[in-house]
Structure 1
Amino acid sequence: MSDQSAMPEGLSHAGIVKRYRWAIAGTLALLSLENLFTVIEPWLLGRAIDSLIGDSFLGIVIYLAAAVIAMALGVSRRLYDTRIYGRIYRESAGDVAERQFTNEKPTAQTAAHVGFVQEFVDFFEHMLPAAIVSIFMLLGSIVMMAIISPLLCLGTVVVAGLIAAIFGVSAGKINRLNTGLNDEFERQVDILDAREILSTRTHFFSLVRWRIQLSDLEARNFGGVFLLTFMLTAFAVWVLVSAGDKSTGEIFAALSYVLQFSQSVIILPYTYQQFLRTSEIGTRLSGIPTDDTTG
């Protein structure tokens, strides 16, 4: 049972975690156990390949046993998540609505803020698990590549640093665009209530404009990340084949870890953008003024 007095004035990532720390800790613990399998899966498959080449089924049996355990953990976590995050939304949306009523805010703003709560909670339910999975894959792949090929691991770390730089540079612009989009969205109910065609069309034009600018920035970042991961994959093939001392299973595992790394660095930036967006929403719901943003 949540303590109403423990609710901060506005929503924030830290505030949600503090208020529901044990519930969120439970789902993150299940997620962590589930994703240990994600990290070791390529290694298990590599061992299974070498085992089958040596006329043994032991490797494939171990892989299947681990997969069944991971599946059971995944199903349990998803059942638990739905209930936990449903409760968080119910209580947080009620708190926001009550605060708006108490401060005699207009219905349009109240409706917009309650809608923002859903997006905020969705970050925890969907984006946070995706980010944690990606972090497991990122760190796990780097560690496992260090075991298989230190040179390949070094190349991977360099690529990770370049990708971090790409998104570090764009963070400020992402924040400005999210502020502009949310400012426009808050005006929607008032604009529709006025029933003026020109204002309504201008409003939807502005919403689309902000979303296009966000999408364009995301596309540019995505292109840079993809180019770097393609180069890393080509480098991995060269390193593994030219070494001449790797088994078939080791080469398979190493290339799988490169692909795991590539997948994680594509997902993580998107979750980072959502983190920035929901941080701006949390600031808005707390009543802290945001900077004026122009298109």
Structure 2
Amino acid sequence: MLTNTLAHKKFFRLNAALNARAEQQVGVLETRSPPRLGAHLLSLRKSEIRISDTEGLIYGMILAALLGMEMFNLWFATQSLGVSAGGVFSIVTYSWDFFESALILPMTLQTLSRLSEITARINKMEAAE
């Protein structure tokens, strides 16, 4: 959760840049200028790559933390609790379920950040009217 909270501001900023560029798309298409269209599409692609890179970093950090937790759980269960093979299997199964659920967080955060940026943009436009 801490990782996602820290990344929210960056996601918000990256989504603002992507959305601002996407809003210019109609104007760029109306110019019918291939160089301008190429520059616009390149800018969109770079914005999407920055978002994807940030998601990848967040996934990596969460993955490292969860693998560390999984290894600790297994070590603790085998060293301290004297758990049977079935108990170890249960620990691995439940830990893996938690692991899979936690991996959805970066995508959820990115979507939440994008929606909150769009909402802020809409509210700003309504306040200006």
TM range, normalised to the smaller chain?
0.7 to 0.9
How far did residue 242 of structure 1 move?
Answer: 1.5
- Within the alignment, does 1:278 sit opposite 2:112 as a pair? no
Which residue is equivalent to 2:10?
173
Q: State the SS of the aligned residue for 1:288.
A: helix
TM-score normalised by L of structure 1: 0.40
- Choose from 248, 255, 260 the match for 2:97: 260
- Choose from 21, 40, 56 the match for 1:203: 40
**Most deviating of 189-198 and 201-210:** 189-198
Unaligned runs of 5+ residues in structure 1 are 1-163, 290-295
CA distance in 2, matches of 1:270, 1:194: 35
Unaligned runs of 5+ residues in structure 2 are none
CA distance in 1, matches of 2:56, 2:114: 17
- Within the alignment, does 1:230 sit opposite 2:67 as a pair? yes
CA distance in 2, matches of 1:227, 1:260: 16
CA distance in 2, matches of 1:244, 1:264: 26
Q: Any residues of structure 2 matched to 1:79-158 within 5 Å, and which?
A: none
Paired residues, number: 125
Partner deviation per Cα, 1:52-106 (whole Å, 9 max, x = no partner): xxxxxxxxxxxxxxxxxxxxxxxxxxxxxxxxxxxxxxxxxxxxxxxxxxxxxxx
Which residue is equivalent to 1:288?
124
- Between structure 1 and structure 2, the one with the greater Rg is 1
- The structure carrying a bigger helix percent of its residues is 2
- Within the alignment, does 1:192 sit opposite 2:29 as a pair? yes
CA distance in 1, matches of 2:15, 2:55: 12
Q: State the SS of the aligned residue for 2:103.
A: helix
How far did residue 214 of structure 1 move?
Answer: 0.8
Q: Check whether the contact 2:74–2:91 (CA below 8 A) recurs between aligned residues.
A: no
**Most deviating of 225-234 and 239-248:** 239-248
Percent identical pairs in the alignment equals 30
How far did residue 225 of structure 1 move?
Answer: 1.0
Q: Check whether the contact 2:4–2:105 (CA below 8 A) recurs between aligned residues.
A: no
Q: Which letter does structure 1 place at the counterpart of 2:11?
A: I
Q: Which letter does structure 2 place at the counterpart of 1:220?
A: L
Change (3 A) 1:166 1:244: closer
CA distance in 2, matches of 1:251, 1:231: 16
Higher RCO (C-alpha under 8 Å, 6+ residues apart)? 2
